Structure 1
Amino acid sequence: MQRAQPQLITTRLDKLHPTQITVGKLEVTLKRKQWGALGKSARATTLSSHWFPAVAGPDSKYYILDHHHFGLALLEEEVKTVNVMLMKDLSWLAPPKFWGVMDHHQWVHPYDGEGLRRDFSAVPHHLTHLHDDPYRSLAGELRRAGGFAKDVTPFSEFLWADYLRDLVDASQIENDFEKALTKAKKIARSQDARYLPGWCGVMVAN
């Protein structure tokens, strides 16, 4: 039997559905700045070469599996259409079964800004309704600063965000982000963090 191949589809950005509850708003701001620095031609090239992996869910709505920060940044920059790579068609499933399958494949991250798991109904219906998690912003900047390596593990930055949540004060992230980042860099190298995806610390021989 021939397996279905992913399909590239052009669709309206404001019709895409998230598969997570939060984003790091500082990271969204950074992506907006990067977009703002591009000329018209570079923007067109970026949009034509970039695609959002997605699953077709109930009512044939597209649920994106990645690039939520970029998607929200583009929406705030009033971009209208984007490319979606349809990875799986689950549109025929009832919502409870759909979310169960999404959870099984680690295609959904139903955790709030405090790192607590919520019901799937808490996942927003629109990218602009995503909540801010400052620790996700810190984790994203930590990765860019070399604190840990980019990893294919689903939602790896959120795993780091949850690790940092108990070790860095939220007030420090808000009031002195650079100081919070310096602390996070030190924490990221510790042996306690070695279970996390992309850990770059030094292994200690037993």
Structure 2
Amino acid sequence: MTLMFISRLSISTMPVIGALSCILLSSIAMATQISDNRMLAKTGDVIQVRLDELHPTQVAVGKLQIAGDLDDYARKPEKLLADLCKVQGAGKLEQQNPSSSPKDPSSYRCTLPAGTDKSAMNTVDIGPGGKIYLTDGHHAFNSFWEASGGDVRLSVLVGENLSRDVKGNPVSQTQFEQKMAELKHFLPIDAKGNRITFAQLPPSLGLKSFQDDPWRSMLYYLRGISYDKSDNNLDPKTGKPYPEVPFLEFYWGQLLNSKMDLSQYSLSELAGYISALNDAAQIMTELSPEQHVGDSGKSAAELGKLDKVYNKKLKKLSEPDSKLAKALAYQASHPQ
């Protein structure tokens, strides 16, 4: 009787086990398919990723800049959804409700399909095995991570697929890292300007994994005051905009670090921070357009140097309710 029961139990569970096996195989096949698609992605393609899949290509961020974003998201949760629309090339936030969540894309709507405005999107490179390396947007994506966690899905733009060589053969990790360094898609310095290797990069997004670079935060606030995006300046030889430069702000930070001592400023107070910004802006705008900046191998003009300090924008930052003032207050109450 017992043997018959066991036999019947075995027979009855076999279809279940078979079904589970099919589900497992299907999941493996799906994972392989996704990886294969990424391996075939080309420059300019739009792919979907999760935040926790992204591998950083720099070890430091300007944490005061991110504090400003997190303050915005705390005050106005819909601002996070609006920023997600923007960085996905999906225009503006069109519709949301109190239950809308960045973890559920169906809970809010943007004005455009993702990938429509590629100029607004952040870029990634494809590495060996289909790994995704973030080459632009470490600040925005860290802000998303801190506000909502790593399981948020979003669309990104493929910059380079470096998973295979020119003959179509898979590259090794060493070959990939060499190519990333050659393209300057990997920033080989830490917050203090010391050289680092690829292996020293953070394993994932999340502020606890990153060093704080005060120069990088200052450059965020100086944009439009003493420099702008590199492609906003025209090359006098061609009459065309200069190409975009990855890690542009860090190279400016290298130059400023060689000319200023931040310990002389009270950067936790608005007045002290504005004083540092003013001195940095003067240094930047007084440079010769031909002078090379940091390790960029490029001139100040190529890195977006402006001819004068735009004091009106600097004065606006000095107001008690400015985005800088709010970021300083948020950082003081939420130390990282």
- Interval of TM-score (by shorter of Structure 1 and Structure 2): 0.7 to 0.9
Specify the code of the residue in structure 1 equivalent to 2:229. Answer: K
CA 1:98–1:177: 2 relative to 1, 3 Å: same
Q: Secondary structure of 1:77's partner?
A: helix
Q: How does 1:7-156 map to 2 (within 5 A)?
A: 7-36=45-74, 37=76, 39=78, 42=82, 45-46=85-86, 48=88, 49=90, 51-78=121-148, 80-91=152-163, 92-128=170-206, 129-144=209-224, 146-151=225-230, 152-156=244-248
Correspondence for 2:294? none
How large is the Cα RMSD of the aligned pairs?
Answer: 2.4
1:198 has 2:304 as partner: yes
> Is the 2:86–2:121 contact (alpha carbons within 8 Å) kept by the matching residues of 1?
no
Deviations 1:136-188 (A, max 9, x none): 111221114x1112112222111111111123323326342121111112212
Correspondence for 1:177? 273
The percent identity for this pair of structures is 28
> Is the 1:138–1:181 contact (alpha carbons within 8 Å) kept by the matching residues of 2?
yes
Q: How does 1:150-169 map to 2 (within 5 A)?
A: 150-151=229-230, 152-169=244-261
> Is the 1:24–1:137 contact (alpha carbons within 8 Å) kept by the matching residues of 2?
yes
Cα separation, 2, equivalents of 1:60 and 1:159: 29
Count of equivalent residues: 199
Cα separation, 2, equivalents of 1:201 and 1:44: 34
Cα separation, 2, equivalents of 1:18 and 1:65: 7
Q: Secondary structure of 1:140's partner?
A: helix
Task: Name the TM-score, length of structure 1 as normaliser.
Answer: 0.84
Unaligned runs of 5+ in 1: none
> Is the 2:46–2:156 contact (alpha carbons within 8 Å) kept by the matching residues of 1?
yes
Correspondence for 2:5? none
**Structure 1 runs, 4 residues or longer, greater than 4 Å off:** none
Structure with a larger share of its residues in strand = 1
Unaligned runs of 5+ in 2: 1-40, 91-119, 164-169, 231-243, 292-299, 309-336
CA 1:158–1:5: 2 relative to 1, 3 Å: closer
Which protein has the larger Cα radius of gyration, Structure 1 or Structure 2?
A: 2
Displacement of 1:89 in angstroms is 2.6
CA 1:193–1:126: 2 relative to 1, 3 Å: farther
Deviates more, 1:36-45 or 1:95-104: 36-45
Deviates more, 1:83-92 or 1:132-141: 83-92
> Is the 1:35–1:43 contact (alpha carbons within 8 Å) kept by the matching residues of 2?
no
> Is the 2:57–2:185 contact (alpha carbons within 8 Å) kept by the matching residues of 1?
yes
1:186 has 2:282 as partner: yes
